A and B are shown apart, each in its own frame.
Chain A
Amino acid sequence: MMFRIGVDVGGTYTDLVATDEAGRTVFAKSPSTPADQSIGVMAGLDELARRLNVTRAAMLAATDRLVHGTTVATNALLERKGAKVALLTTAGHRDVIEMREGLKPDRYDLRSPPPEPLVPRERRFGVRERLKADGEVLIPLDPGSLDDAIAGIEKSGATSVAVCFLHSYLDPVHELAAVARLAQALPGVSISRSSDVLPQIKEYERVSTTIVNACVEPVVRRYLTNLETRLGEAGFRGSLFVVLSHGGMAPVEEAARLAAGTVLSGPAGGMSGGRRCAELVGIPDLVPFDMGGTSTDISLISGGQASLSADGMLAGQRIALRSLDIASIAAGGGSIASVDAGRTLRVGPESAGAVPGPACYGNGGQAATVTDANVVLGYLDAAAFMGGRRPLDRAAAEAAIDRVADAMSLSRIEAAAGICRMINLNMADGIRLMTLRRGVDPRKFALLSFGGAAGLHAAEVARELEIRRIIVPTVASVLSAWGMLTSDLRYEVSRTHYGAGARITAGEVRGLFSQLEQQAAGRLRSWFKGPIAIERSAEMRYGEQIFEIDVSLDGLDWNAADLVDRIEHHFHARHEELYTYASPGQEVVFVNARVAAVGKVPRLDSDMKPAPSSQACVPRGRRQAFLGGWRELPVYALDDLRPGQTLAGPAIIEAETTTVLVDAGDRVTVNALGWLDIELR
Chain B
Amino acid sequence: MSATVDPITRSVVQHRLSSIVKEMGEAMLRTSYSQILNSSRDFSLAICDTGGRLIAQADHLPVHVGALPWATLAVEQRFKDVAPGDVILLNDPYHGGSHLPDLTAFVPVFAGGRRLLWTIVRAHQSDIGGATHGAYNPAATEIYQEGLRVPPIKLYEAGKLRDDLLDLLALNIRNPREFRGDLAAMLGAAQLGERRLARLFSEFGAPVVEAAMEAILDATEQQTRAVVSTWKDGVFHGEAFLDDDGHGRSDIRIAAKVTKNGSDVEVDLSQSDPQSTSFVNSSHANMQAAVAMAFAYLIDAEIPKNSGALRPLKVIARQGTVVWADPGRPVTLCTSHPSNEIVEAIVKALSASCPERAMAGWSRRFRIAIQGEDPRTGRNFIWHLFQARPGGGASSGGDGWSSIGEWHSVGGLKFGSLEVAEARFPLHFRHHEFRAGSGGDGQFRGGLGVALDLVLETEKPAKGNTAGDGARHGPCGMLGGEDGKPHHYRLLSEGRAPRVLRTKEVGIELRPGDCLEIRSSGGGGWGPPAKRSEQARRRDREQGLIDAAAERLSE
Contact = CB atoms under 8 A, between A and B. Distances in A.
Interface in A340-370: 340-346
Interface residues of B, number: 95
B420 A201 contact: yes
Interface string B212-255: 00001001101100110000000000000000000000000000
Given A108-B296, A498-B423, A204 B417 contact: yes
B415 A102 contact: yes
Question: Which label, helix, strand, loop or mixed, suits the secondary structure of the B interface?
Answer: mixed
Given A341-B223, A581-B181, A544 B35 contact: yes
Interface in A55-99: 92-95, 98-99
Contact of B422 (A104, A132, A410, A546): A132
B8 A345 contact: yes
Contacts of A578: 30
A212 B228 CA distance: 43
A610 B337 CA distance: 72
A101 B415 contact: yes
Interface in B1-42: 6-8, 10-12, 14-16, 19, 22-23, 26-27, 30-31, 33-35, 38-39
B62 A107 contact: yes
B420 A433 contact: no
Contacts of A114: 399-402, 404, 447
Interface stretch (B88-96, B156-164, B275-283, B373-381): B373-381
A614 interface: no
A544 B59 CA distance: 26
Interface in A394-435: 408-410, 414-415, 417-418, 421-422, 425-426, 429, 432-433
Interface string B331-369: 000000000000000000000000001010010000000
B185 to A, nearest CB: 8
B538 to A, nearest CB: 11
Interface string A309-345: 0000000000000000000000000000000111111
B109 to A, nearest CB: 19
B147 interface: no
Interface in A110-143: 110-114, 120-122, 132-133, 138
Task: Report the interface size class on chain A.
Answer: 35 or more
B359 A111 contact: yes
A103 B402 contact: no
A106 interface: yes
Nearest to B553: A92
A167 B428 CA distance: 12
B396 to A, nearest CB: 6
A554 B545 CA distance: 50
B283 to A, nearest CB: 22
A166 interface: yes
Contacts of A581: 31, 181, 184
A569 B223 CA distance: 54
Contacts of B399: 113-114
Nearest to B223: A342
Contacts of B404: 102, 104, 114
A133 B544 CA distance: 29
Nearest to B418: A203
A485 B444 CA distance: 54
B389 interface: yes
**8 nearest A-B residue pairs (beta carbon):** A104-B411, A113-B398, A418-B8, A342-B219, A92-B431, A109-B301, A501-B377, A111-B397
Interface of A: 92-95, 98-114, 120-122, 132-133, 138, 166-167, 201-205, 340-346, 408-410, 414-415, 417-418, 421-422, 425-426, 429, 432-433, 436-437, 439, 498, 500-502, 544-547, 578-581, 583, 586
Given A122-B543, A345-B11, A436-B27, 9 more contacts: A104-B405, A104-B411, A110-B359, A111-B301, A111-B357, A113-B444, A122-B542, A138-B428, A579-B30
